[in-house]
Structures are given as C-alpha cells and as structure tokens.
Structure 1
Amino acid sequence: MFARVSTASVEFPGLLGVNGPENGSPARVNSNEFSYKKGCEIFGEKEPADYVYQVMTGAVRSYKLLSDGRRQIGAFHLTGDIFGLEIGTDHRFTAEAIVDTTVRLMKRLSLERVAEIDVAVARNLLSMTTSNLRHAEDHMLLLGRKTSLERVAAFLMEMDKRSTAAGILALPMCRRDIADYLGLTLETVSRALSRLHGFGILGFIGNNQRQIVLLDRKKLASLDLQH
C-alpha cells in the first residue's frame, strides 16, 4: 500500500547542494510525496524511468530477481539519498521500501529542463550518475574478489560512512537483505558478524541485533582490503 502525502513545488537543485540559475533564484520543480508500507514496491524493473526519487524517511532497496529465483540487491537508499536516476529510459532494478518509507517524486523531464538552464545542476546530476557507476563497480569487485568476512566488513564500513549516529549503526535492513546485497547466505552473514563480535570489533544492542556498535574501526578497516 502507498498513499500520497503532499504535493509541492520544491527547490530540487537545493537538494543537490547547488544554487539556482544565473538570476540567483533557485529553479523549482514540482514534486509529490508518497508514503509506502514496508515491502511495498515503489517501481519495477523495466518500467519507464519517468521520475527521480528522494528518500525523505525510511529506507529503500534496489534489486533484481535472477532467473533461478534468487534476489540480488544492488543498493540501499537511506534518508536523503536520491535514486531512480537512470542512464536509459527504463528502470534496471526494482525498488522496494525496506520499512515504512516516505519518498519525494520529481519528474525526470522537469529536472532535465532545469539542468539545461543551470550548469551547476547539470554538473551535479553528472556527479550523481558517476557516483552510482562507481558504487556499481565497487559492488562488482566486492562480489567477485572478497572473502565473506571482507564483504561483511566492507558493508559495515559503507554503512558507517553513511550513518548520522556516531559509532552506532541502526540498520533498517535485515540480515537476509545484507546477505542478498553481499552475495552470501544468511548463515554466512550471521557467522561473519559473530566472528567480528568475537574479535571485539563490534557489539550488538537489542534482541534483533540491528543496532550495531562499532568498537574498533581501525581493525574493521583492516579487514576491508579495498578500504
């Protein structure tokens, strides 16, 4: 289930961290906010990529279903992240709410029109696309060349960089999600986390162990060979 929360005209370039066009006024793009329940699909693979999305609250996973039914998660999108910006005309992944989530939708065509008159916006859109490509390359390396322990360490380092709470990772995703992101089994992820706990690198808060306390970042980074 999803529901419209609001409709507004927003200074979207401001969300990209740039100023407006040469007249000093931020370019504005109409947007809508929708709320999605946990597990609800936001868009599907091969659907037209007519909108660009920003996570306002909650978290989103982008994934593909393989021919044998397995799921490969390509990315996690957290609060403030912009996703759905495709190089082609269709979405390459399915996007789904991990928890109850609110996202802002902006028409891709409108954003492209703003970029045509604002060099800074165009530059930031290119930077976002390049960043997405870099993430895809890093993820490919992680899946192809790292051991299971190195993969879990790399994932925790990535989440730590994106976390707003110093030293504590409040993960919205479950271990199954982590496993499907890292190309591992659920049991392997659990064993790796237990080993890191045994090494004194991390601790757990709560029964579901989704809140992780990083006790030794230096040792954790030493396990991520590509850090």
Structure 2
Amino acid sequence: MHAYTSSRISLPSRSAQPNLPEAFEPALLQPLSFYPAGAEIYAQGEKAGGFYQVEFGAVRVYRLLADGRRQISAFHLAGETFGFEADTTHHFFAEAVNSTGVRVFRPTAGADMSHQLLPLALKGLTRAQEHLL
C-alpha cells in the first residue's frame, strides 16, 4: 500500500525578512510571481529597475557564451535577493531551477536609498569574489 502525505508551503511575511530596505513601501511590493523549472525570470539586456527576492525554490543567474555554453554566476535560494544592477539593464539571465516563487521590489521615485542598498551591493560583491575563488 502507498501512503500519501500532503505538505503545506508557508510563505514568510514581509516583516519576517529584515534584509529588505525600509524605503520599499508595501504598496510597491509586487505580488508573488510563480515560475516553473527552466522559466526565464529576466534576460540579459532587459531593462532593470528593481530587485528580486526568492520566496521559495531556487534561481540560477548566468550568461551565455559565444559557443553556446552557459556560464553560471550564482544560485539564489529562499530569502536571498538578486537582480540588483549598477545601471538600467540586466547583465545576466535569471531562470528558475525548479518551481520557484519570486517577489519584485521597486524603489520609490526620488528616494535616497544608498544606505539601504549598500548592504545588498556589498553582499553581491562578496558572493562574486567567493565565486571567483
């Protein structure tokens, strides 16, 4: 006989995620977007304007090489942020590794968020340095 079990996914609330900048108002919090395995979240060259947080699942950030191979830059798991760009376009592709829920955060217009976004930028730099080694 086979036994079946059901599982529940509980999504963390915004207040349970202290790493999000205060300047991101609840009104600007986008609904949770669901991506099946292999689905593109954004493409290299697309306009960037916010950043993303993995609610559940996993995200692969990569670049395509001239010979068609994929160079993986990073994997992001639940609670981690990605897609934070220094300019207005994405420099990598991002896709769901498995069934993934992602939330987009967009800064308020004209808000000085440098002190809130600096920790995100430094964390990304640290990840990149560790990846190189």
Give the structure-2-normalised TM-score. Answer: 0.77
Looking at structure 1, the residues matched to 14 and 79 of structure 2 have their Cα atoms a distance apart, in angstroms, of: 14
Aligned to 1:159: none
Shift of the 102–47 alpha-carbon distance from structure 1 to 2, 3 Å rule, reads same
Instruction: Note if 1:96 corresponds to 2:99.
Output: no
Looking at structure 1, the residues matched to 100 and 20 of structure 2 have their Cα atoms a distance apart, in angstroms, of: 23
- Is the partner of 2:30 in helix, strand or coil? strand
**Structure 1 position 52, deviation (Å):** 1.2
Aligned to 1:213: none
Aligned to 2:80: 81
Aligned to 1:16: 19
- Is the partner of 1:125 in helix, strand or coil? helix
Unaligned runs of 5+ in 1: 1-9, 143-227
8 Å CA contact 1:32–1:106 kept in 2: the answer is no
Looking at structure 2, the residues matched to 122 and 11 of structure 1 have their Cα atoms a distance apart, in angstroms, of: 21
Aligned to 1:54: 53
Higher helix share: 1
After TM superposition, where is structure 1 displaced by more than 6 Å over at least 4 residues in a row? none
**Structure 1 position 79, deviation (Å):** 0.1
Residue by residue over 1:71-110, the C-alpha shift from the partner in whole angstroms, topping out at 9 and shown as x without a partner, is 1100001000111111111111100000000100122x42
Looking at structure 1, the residues matched to 126 and 75 of structure 2 have their Cα atoms a distance apart, in angstroms, of: 15
Rg (Cα) greater in structure: 1
- Is the partner of 1:32 in helix, strand or coil? coil
Aligned to 1:71: 70
- Is the partner of 1:129 in helix, strand or coil? helix
Looking at structure 1, the residues matched to 14 and 96 of structure 2 have their Cα atoms a distance apart, in angstroms, of: 25
**Structure 1 position 130, deviation (Å):** 1.2
- Residue correspondences, number: 119
Instruction: Note if 1:130 corresponds to 2:122.
Output: yes
Unaligned runs of 5+ in 2: 1-12
Percent of pairs with identical residues: 38
Residue by residue over 1:127-183, the C-alpha shift from the partner in whole angstroms, topping out at 9 and shown as x without a partner, is 11011112212222x2xxxxxxxxxxxxxxxxxxxxxxxxxxxxxxxxxxxxxxxxx
Looking at structure 1, the residues matched to 20 and 47 of structure 2 have their Cα atoms a distance apart, in angstroms, of: 27
**Structure 1 position 70, deviation (Å):** 1.2
Residue by residue over 1:201-221, the C-alpha shift from the partner in whole angstroms, topping out at 9 and shown as x without a partner, is xxxxxxxxxxxxxxxxxxxxx
Aligned to 1:105: 104
- Is the partner of 2:119 in helix, strand or coil? helix
* Greater RCO (Cα-Cα under 8 Å, separation 6 or more): 2
Residue type matched to 1:80 in 2? G
